[in-house]
Amino acid sequence: MTNLPSLDPTDWQTFRDEAHRALDQAINHMQGRQDDPVWQPVPSEIRTSLKADLPRQGQAIDRLTDQMADRFLPYGVGNTHARFFGWVHGAGTPQGILPDIMAAAMNANLGGRDHVANLVEKQVIDWMRQAFDFPDTSGGLVVSGTSVATLIAIKSAREKHGGLDLRRTGLGRATKQLVGYASDQAHSCIARTFDILGLGQDALRMVPTDGDYRMDAGALKTMIAQDLTAGHQPFCLVGTAGAVNVGAIDPLETLAEIAREHNMWFHVDGAFGATAVLSDAQKPLLAGLSQADSIAFDFHKWLHVNYDAGFILMRDVEDQWRAFTERPDYLEGAERGLAAGNPWFCEYGPELSRGFRALKIWFHLMHFGTDRLGGLIAQNCDQAKALAGMVERSDRLELLAPVALNITCFRYNPGDLDGPDLDRLNGEIVVALQERGLAAPSTTKLKGHLAIRVNITNHRTTLPDLEFLVDHIEKLGQEITASNLV
Ligand SMILES: *Cc1c(COP(=O)(O)O)cnc(C)c1O
């Protein structure tokens, strides 16, 4: 029987040339990125071309790399630009191309077994232990993002306080309803986790926030008391370190204390905010974070590791193991040989096969060092305050929330429009900024008002970028009002 040719290149030298060319195309894109529009819509012709039939026959590499370079790379979300300020996106780095190439070359599966990739991930875990002042009992796992990290944390909490039997019986047999708490500013991934785990979104109580958008601890205590009276079991308290709307940080020390008092798990959603521990200036704002039972955060946001890379850090990694361990015969470990390396990472989360995300994190931290990354975080916080200053000095701009960290929320207000018209005008300004490729803030609603929301998790942003933004918001505000669009 003759073998079909494998998928490897038939001519390695040709492949090498093609690969070098592709690398150049990728680097060219990053190098020229700041001269491009921040964002541009995908041309309809490209949209159409992406509805082709399943390819039965393959095509040459050069053609495909050209397609990627010319037709895909320019039409990204825009977060590699200095004036991308939308939602919370990290800015990525050109250097991050390199570990992705190496990881692809290795094609490792970090579900388990005994190989060097797992040791790299263990190194990353140990670094996070150090970064967050967590004890020796702690551990964690590299995941795709904070959403999955949250799922791992709350499942561990559920089993710790609801009993390991839940893994077999499900919630149907539970005698008391398990309830948890998060502020009304908390990210939707927490309610989603309650849904996925069968706890139900209603079991997550939304605690009101104060004038600074921080959880109201008094209201929390009242809600816990009501649940106890009703015969429910409060099992989990979620604090947010850097909420999406305005970057608010809950009073973490107080929450840690309340959680201890009521024997609840204390989880912190620190998707972007928690990584501010790397900045000496911001670290004091996060007091109490090191008392958490678990912290979920992302490397791909404020630390700028290229997407995607998140992390779950657990105070007692045994809780995580107990909630997820599952070793059928075909995954049996061994003392020696390739099946050694116990325990396996697949025992700490929902995924069995796991790619080598840890490599890009390892490379990023090794190359840039945490001092430099922390310095850029501090710079973004200073920039958010500077932007608030520009807003306050302008006759036509109005600050809508205090700046807690790196997010500035404001609106254009010419003074003679009512609520709905003001909302429409500010929505139009943001869309115009995006469509003209000038800048990309996003919007949110604060106390019923539409706000232009400028989130600065961007190592490329400079003060002139923010002056440019303010300038164009004022110009667009005038232009749109004059054209009677609102
Ligand atoms: C982005 C974000 C999340 C979700 O994180 P992903 O990495 O997108 O899954 C959760 N909480 C907060 C506060 C966030 O900013």
Are 114 and 227 in a shared domain? yes
Average pLDDT over residues 275-285: 98
In this structure, the answer to whether residues 308 and 408 fall within a common structural domain is: no
On whether residue 315 sits in a domain, the answer given is yes
Distance CA 416, CA 479 (A): 15
Q: CA 318, 323, 324, 326 torsion: positive or negative?
A: positive
pLDDT band at residue 307, thresholds of 50, 70 and 90? very high
Residue 84 lies in a domain: no
Measured between alpha carbons, how far is residue 384 from residues 237, 391, 404, 466 in Å?
29, 11, 9, 9
- Statement: residue 330 has pLDDT above 90: no
- Work out the angle between the directed axes of helices 252-261 and 217-229 (0-180°, nearest 10): 20
- Same domain, yes or no: 144 and 203: yes
Residues in contact with ligand 1 (CB, 6 Å cut-off): 88, 145-147, 187, 189, 240, 242-244, 269, 271-272, 298, 310
**Residue 21 is part of which domain span?**
13-78
Half-sphere exposure of 313 (CA within 13 A, CB side): 28
CA of residue 367 to ligand 1 center, whole Å: 25
Q: Would 191 be classed as within a structural domain?
A: yes
For residue 457, the CA-to-ligand 1 centroid distance in Å is 13
Q: Are residues 240 and 337 in the same domain?
A: yes
Kindly report, residue by residue over 213-244, the tens digit of the pLDDT: 999 999 999 999 999 999 999 999 999 999 99
The mean per-residue pLDDT over the stretch 420-444 comes to: 97
Domain-located, residue 90: no
Dihedrals phi, psi of 294, to nearest 5 degrees: -155, 150
Residue 384 within any structural domain of the chain:
yes
Nearest CA to ligand 1 atom 1: 271
pTM tops 0.95, yes or no:
yes
Distance of CA 472 to the CA centre of its chain: 29
Distance 336 CA to ligand 1 centre (A): 39
- Work out whether the CA dihedral 260, 264, 265, 271 comes out positive or negative: negative
Task: Pick the residue whose CA is nearest to atom 12 on ligand 1.
Answer: 271
pLDDT of residue 308: 98
DSSP 52: P
Residues written for the chain? 486
Pick the residue whose CA is nearest to atom 2 on ligand 1: 271
Q: Structurally, how many domains does the chain consist of?
A: 3
Residue 459 shares a structural domain with residue 386: yes
Query: How many whole angstroms from 97 Cα to the centroid of ligand 1?
Result: 23
Q: Is the pLDDT of residue 358 over 70?
A: yes
Q: Let me know whether 36 and 152 are in one domain.
A: no
**How far apart are the CA of 464 and the centre of ligand 1, in A?**
28
pLDDT of 332 > 80? The answer is yes
